[in-house]
Structure 1
Amino acid sequence: MTGAVGFIATNIFGTYIAYAPIDRYFDAGLAYASFPGWSFVPDSAGAAQLVMADLEPGPQPTSALMSWAFAFHAAAGEFATDPRIRGDAIAAIGHSRYGKSALIASGWSDRIAGAVAHQSGFGGGSSSRSKTGETLVRMAREYPHWLRPGLAEDLENGLDLTLDQHFLLALSAPKPIFLGNGRRDVWSDPNSSFILAQAADQVYEAAGAEGLVDGAGMRDFDPSADISYWLRVGGHSVVSEDIDAFTAFMQAHFGDDSPSETGLQSAQ
Structure 2
Amino acid sequence: MMLVSGGIARAQDGLPDPLVSTDGTKITSAKEWKEKRRPELLEFFAREMYGQSPGVPEKMSFEEFDRDREALDGKATRIQIAIYPGGKPGPRIDLLIYVPNGVEGPVPAFLGLNFWGNHAIHKDPGIRLTESWVENNHQPYVDLKGVDANRATDETRGVNASQWPVEMILSRGYAVATMYREDVAPDHEPYFGSGVPPLYPELQRGEGNWGTIAIWAWSLSRALDVLENEPLIDARRVAAFGFSRLGKAALWAGANDERFALTISNESGAGGAKLFHRGVGEDIQRLNSLFPHWFSRKFRAYIGKDKELPFDQHLMISCIAPRPVYVASAIEDRNADPEGEFEGLKAAEGVFELLGAKGLPAERWPEVDVSVQGGIGYHVRAGRHDVTDFDWEQYLKFSDKHLKGK
TM-score by length of 2: 0.56
- Assess if the C-alpha contact under 8 Å between 1:17 and 1:237 holds in 2: no
* 1:36 aligned residue: 180
Q: Identify the structure with the greater helix proportion.
A: 1
Instruction: Provide the C-alpha distance between the structure 1 equivalents of 2:353 and 2:216, rounded to a whole number of angstroms.
Output: 29
Q: How does 1:42-191 map to 2 (within 5 A)?
A: 42-48=186-192, 53-55=197-199, 62-152=210-300, 154-156=301-303, 158=305, 160-191=308-339
Match for 1:237 among 386, 391, 400? Answer: 386
* 1:18 aligned residue: 160
Q: Identify the structure with the greater strand proportion.
A: 2
Q: What letter matches 1:255 in structure 2?
A: K
Instruction: Provide Cα deviations, 1:183-230, integer angstroms capped at 9, x if missing partner.
Output: 11111001111111111000100111002125464235234x121011
Instruction: Provide Cα deviations, 1:6-58, integer angstroms capped at 9, x if missing partner.
Output: 895359xxxx9823111111001100011111211111254326655433599
* 1:222 aligned residue: 372
Where 1:86 maps in the other structure, the secondary structure is strand
Q: What letter matches 1:182 in structure 2?
A: A
- Assess if the C-alpha contact under 8 Å between 2:261 and 2:403 holds in 1: no
5+ residue gaps in structure 2? 1-119, 124-136, 144-157
Instruction: Provide the C-alpha distance between the structure 1 equivalents of 2:138 and 2:233, rounded to a whole number of angstroms.
Output: 33
* 2:358 aligned residue: 210
- Assess if the C-alpha contact under 8 Å between 2:251 and 2:317 holds in 1: yes
TM-aligned CA distance change 1:49 to 1:227, over 3 Å: farther
Question: Following TM superposition, where does structure 1 have runs of at least 4 consecutive aligned residues deviating by more than 4 angstroms?
Answer: 5-8, 49-53, 56-61, 157-160
- Assess if the C-alpha contact under 8 Å between 1:173 and 1:207 holds in 2: yes
- Assess if the C-alpha contact under 8 Å between 2:185 and 2:197 holds in 1: no
- Assess if the C-alpha contact under 8 Å between 1:126 and 1:192 holds in 2: yes
Q: What letter matches 2:263 in structure 1?
A: A
Q: What letter matches 1:252 in structure 2?
A: K
State the Cα distance separating 1:68 from its structure 2 match.
0.5
- Assess if the C-alpha contact under 8 Å between 1:182 and 1:235 holds in 2: yes
Of 42-51 and 174-183, more deviation after overlay is shown by 42-51
Q: What letter matches 1:249 in structure 2?
A: F
State the Cα distance separating 1:134 from its structure 2 match.
1.8
State the Cα distance separating 1:89 from its structure 2 match.
0.8
Instruction: Provide the C-alpha distance between the structure 1 equivalents of 2:282 and 2:251, rounded to a whole number of angstroms.
Output: 19
Instruction: Provide Cα deviations, 1:59-111, integer angstroms capped at 9, x if missing partner.
Output: 88611010000011000111122222111111111100000000000000132
TM-score by length of 1: 0.83
* 1:247 aligned residue: 396
* 1:266 aligned residue: none
Instruction: Provide Cα deviations, 1:237-257, integer angstroms capped at 9, x if missing partner.
Output: 11121121121121111014x
State the Cα distance separating 1:136 from its structure 2 match.
2.3
- Assess if the C-alpha contact under 8 Å between 1:167 and 1:200 holds in 2: yes
* 1:9 aligned residue: 141
Where 1:87 maps in the other structure, the secondary structure is strand
5+ residue gaps in structure 1? 259-268
- Assess if the C-alpha contact under 8 Å between 1:45 and 1:145 holds in 2: no
TM-aligned CA distance change 1:63 to 1:17, over 3 Å: farther
- Assess if the C-alpha contact under 8 Å between 1:49 and 1:145 holds in 2: no
Instruction: Provide the C-alpha distance between the structure 1 equivalents of 2:236 and 2:320, rounded to a whole number of angstroms.
Output: 14
- Assess if the C-alpha contact under 8 Å between 1:46 and 1:145 holds in 2: no
* 2:109 aligned residue: none
Instruction: Provide the C-alpha distance between the structure 1 equivalents of 2:197 and 2:312, rounded to a whole number of angstroms.
Output: 27
